[in-house]
Amino acid sequence: MKIALAQLNYHIGNFEHNQKHIIHHINLAKEKGADLVVFAELAICGYPPRDFLNYTDFIERCDITAKEIAKHCVGIACILGLPIKNDILEGKDLYNAAYFIEDGNVKVITKKALLPTYDVFDEYRYFEPNDEFKCIMFKGKKIALTICEDLWNINDNPLYVSCPMDELIKEQPDLMINIAASPFNYRHDEDRIQVLSDNAQKYNLPLFYVNQVGAQTEIIFDGGSLVFDEIGEVKAEMKYFEEDLQVFDLDEVQHVKNKYPAAPRAEDIEQIHDALVLGIRDYFKKSGFTKATLGLSGGIDSAIVCALACKALGAENVMAVLMPSKYSSDHSIKDALDLVKNIGCKHEIIEIKEAANAFDSMLAKPFTGLSPNLTEENIQARCRGIILMAMSNKFGYILLNTSNKSECAVGYGTLYGDMCGAIGVIGDVYKTQIFQLARYINKDVEIIPENTIVKPPSAELRPDQKDSDSLPDYGILDEILFHHIELQKGSKAIIAEGYDEALVHRVLKMVTQAEFKRYQTPPILRVSPKAFGMGRRMPIVGKYTP
């Protein structure tokens, strides 16, 4: 049996695009001699459809699209993920399901049993869990078909009380197929491979796994579809961050060594870079936009975002706006212009001194007798926000936010100023990782000016301002934040790791107090195991500080 894995980029709710794309790859797989082509979880509608699933028409269009696709499954079978109705009154109204289509008809329906509700997942909000398990007979082989999470209940701390493969193995299947929508984070590829390998070993079966690729707002899918033999050895590893279709012979997977070359797996910082480029590109393409703008300060954060945007959209489609204040240094303006020269994007220079002075004048009476403080600094940042949104409105640019994760975590940013934008490009990238990204981007030729990388970070909103005036050293700060956010440790556990007690309490208090700001920021491209946004849900007015 020859099995094609179709690793595709779907568009949520774009049934015409998804249908055309799937049919094209059915025909391509047929040309390559495949007997069966496998598509990802919820391929028909895209993942995650979220509350689109509450609309009857949405579910009906999934069914109509699947039936149209089925007409093309003659001479080849396919496995296709989609939401379907639950005809039983009790329970949720839908199943997360997969169709097995052969000879133009749906022959078998498999339903997902384990419905994740952690991090970015919220499937039990919509779907009823499956409790009936049956293998699929095709070309003399029994296929144990599962959907994503159904294979993840295999670790030392299982989240579920049952395991679908424990039921399916009773029918003595010949192979496993798992269709998935497994989001990217820079630590996930190794975990994913280990979990799938453990399944192949436990059940002593070859395993074919297909994942999506592409970005859906803040969630990024990295592809990396996999094939394992019955002892859990990786036999094939498909491309990362790209669409891919490959055909595998079941007998060769089981008996031939080194038949299918594995795609090289990149280091973490390269994965983050590629994920962010894909995230920007898909956000614009799927939203119907082509041009971006951002504030370019001469600092490393905005330089990184500008470089990523030019890579994703083309330098000709990026407008960098330099907005020097009366405190901006000459070298910051030069650094920004050097980047523009290196990268070839468009730029404008719009000084904010006049606007900031106008606000100072307007507020002189109510502020009489009060010394300048953070208020005046924030006014300058908001002047920049107004300018950037004006450029967006006038020219149709989409504004990219340039705040990093360290700043987002502790609230080091101005609402309606430097925190505005349509998509947060680096809001899940710590400052220490930002420097690594700069070095990676410069690996072949200098794009980010060297002075931008080595100079002390500063918002330049008051004389001689440095980030270190307000924040701990980024090296220590990011370590504490990682323990707290990604590893979900409270102050006692972090202090026990050897960090200064007063500093830990200070940092965690800043994180808690900044929650109201994060609720008002744009969606952030997710590249870490725990990103701000839909995967981290904290109350704003809660009293508790971990």
CATH number of the domain at 305, please: 3.40.50.620
pTM, two decimals, is 0.95
240 with 281, same domain?
no
Task: Specify the range with the lowest mean pLDDT, choosing from 10-14, 264-268, 394-398, 401-405.
Answer: 264-268
b vs e for 39-67, b when ≥16 Cβ sit within 10 Å of the residue's Cβ? bbbbbbbbbbbeebbeeeebbebbbebbe
Domain limit, last residue, from 467, 493, 516? 467
Q: Indicate whether 286 pLDDT > 70.
A: yes
331 against 244, higher pLDDT: 244
Residue 529 lies in a domain: no
Residue 22 lies in a domain: yes
Average the pLDDT over 204-226 and give the result.
97
Task: Specify the range with the lowest mean pLDDT, choosing from 12-21, 248-257, 456-465.
Answer: 456-465
Angle at CA of residue 24, ends 66 and 256, nearest 5°: 100
Task: Specify the range with the lowest mean pLDDT, choosing from 95-104, 216-225, 327-336.
Answer: 327-336
Per-residue tokens: 301: 């954060």
CA-CA distance, 243 to 221, in Å (whole number)?
11
Residue 443 lies in a domain: yes
Task: Specify the range with the lowest mean pLDDT, choosing from 66-80, 97-111, 317-331.
Answer: 317-331
Domain limit, last residue, from 467, 488, 522? 467
Choose, from 41, 123, 128, 218, the residue flagged as catalytic: 41
Please tell me the predicted confidence (pLDDT) of residue 263.
66
**C-beta separation of 430 from 404 below 8 A:** yes
Residue 487 lies in a domain: no
Which residue from 107, 163, 169 is spatially nearest to 143, judged by alpha carbons? 169
Q: What amino acid occupies position 252?
A: E
Q: Indicate whether 129 pLDDT > 80.
A: yes
Which residue from 396, 416, 415, 412 is spatially nearest to 404, judged by alpha carbons? 412
Please tell me the predicted confidence (pLDDT) of residue 259.
78
Q: Indicate whether 118 pLDDT > 90.
A: yes
Residue 477 lies in a domain: no
The phi and psi torsions of 455 (rounded to 5 degrees) equal -75, 155
41 is catalytic: yes
**C-beta separation of 284 from 298 below 8 A:** no
447 with 314, same domain?
yes
CA dist 536 → 118, 433, 515, 539 (Å): 9, 20, 11, 10
Please tell me the predicted confidence (pLDDT) of residue 543.
84
Domain limit, last residue, from 221, 243, 265? 265
60 is catalytic: no
Walk across the sheet containing 2-7 and list its strands.
105-111, 94-102, 77-85, 36-38, 2-7, 244-249
CA-CA distance, 495 to 483, in Å (whole number)?
10
509 is catalytic: no
Please tell me the predicted confidence (pLDDT) of residue 330.
74
b vs e for 423-445, b when ≥16 Cβ sit within 10 Å of the residue's Cβ? bbbbbbbbbbbbbbbbebbbeee
Long-range contacts of 536-544 (CB under 8 A, 24+ apart): 536/485, 538/512, 539/515, 540/515, 540/516, 542/512, 544/512
Average the pLDDT over 70-94 and give the result.
97
436 with 368, same domain?
yes
Three state DSSP letters for 265-311: CCCHHHHHHHHHHHHHHHHHHHHCCCCEEEECCCCHHHHHHHHHHHH
Q: Indicate whether 295 pLDDT > 90.
A: yes
Please tell me the predicted confidence (pLDDT) of residue 332.
86
Percent of the chain with pLDDT over 90: 90
Average the pLDDT over 424-428 and give the result.
98
Number of domains in the chain: 2
CA-CA distance, 383 to 115, in Å (whole number)?
46
216 with 298, same domain?
no
Strands 207-210 and 175-179: parallel
Residue 443: half-sphere exposure toward Cβ, Cα within 13 Å: 7
Domain with 444 in it: 271-467
327 with 290, same domain?
yes
Choose, from 148, 310, 345, 420, the residue flagged as catalytic: 148
Choose, from 2, 30, 111, 112, the residue flagged as catalytic: 112
Task: Specify the range with the lowest mean pLDDT, choosing from 8-22, 69-83, 86-100, 461-475.
Answer: 461-475
Place of tokens 């870490």: 528
Percent of the chain with pLDDT over 70: 99
Please tell me the predicted confidence (pLDDT) of residue 462.
67
Chain mean pLDDT for the chain? 95
Strands 318-322 and 292-295: parallel
279 with 260, same domain?
no
Average the pLDDT over 217-234 and give the result.
96
340 with 372, same domain?
yes
Q: Indicate whether 459 pLDDT > 80.
A: no
Please tell me the predicted confidence (pLDDT) of residue 468.
73
197 with 289, same domain?
no
CA-CA distance, 121 to 152, in Å (whole number)?
14
Query: What's the count of helices (H) and strands (E) in the chain, helices before strands?
Result: 17, 19
227 with 308, same domain?
no
335 with 260, same domain?
no
Please tell me the predicted confidence (pLDDT) of residue 384.
97
**C-beta separation of 40 from 181 below 8 A:** yes
Per-residue tokens: 176: 């496993």
Please tell me the predicted confidence (pLDDT) of residue 425.
98
259 with 279, same domain?
no
CA dist 310 → 124, 293, 413 (Å): 39, 11, 24
pLDDT single digits (tens) 226-254: 999 999 999 999 999 999 999 999 999 98
Walk across the sheet containing 398-401 and list its strands.
346-349, 318-322, 292-295, 398-401, 423-424
Residue 427 lies in a domain: yes
Residue 134 lies in a domain: yes
What is the pLDDT confidence band of residue 155, given thresholds at 50, 70 and 90? confident
Q: Where residue 144 sits, what CATH number does that domain have?
A: 3.60.110.10
Provide the 8-state DSSP code for 139.
Answer: T
Per-residue tokens: 379: 């006014």
CA-CA distance, 135 to 154, in Å (whole number)?
20
381 with 402, same domain?
yes
Q: Indicate whether 359 pLDDT > 80.
A: yes
CA-CA distance, 330 to 349, in Å (whole number)?
13
Please tell me the predicted confidence (pLDDT) of residue 460.
66
Three state DSSP letters for 191-207: HHHHHHHHHHHHHCCCE
Residue 475 lies in a domain: no
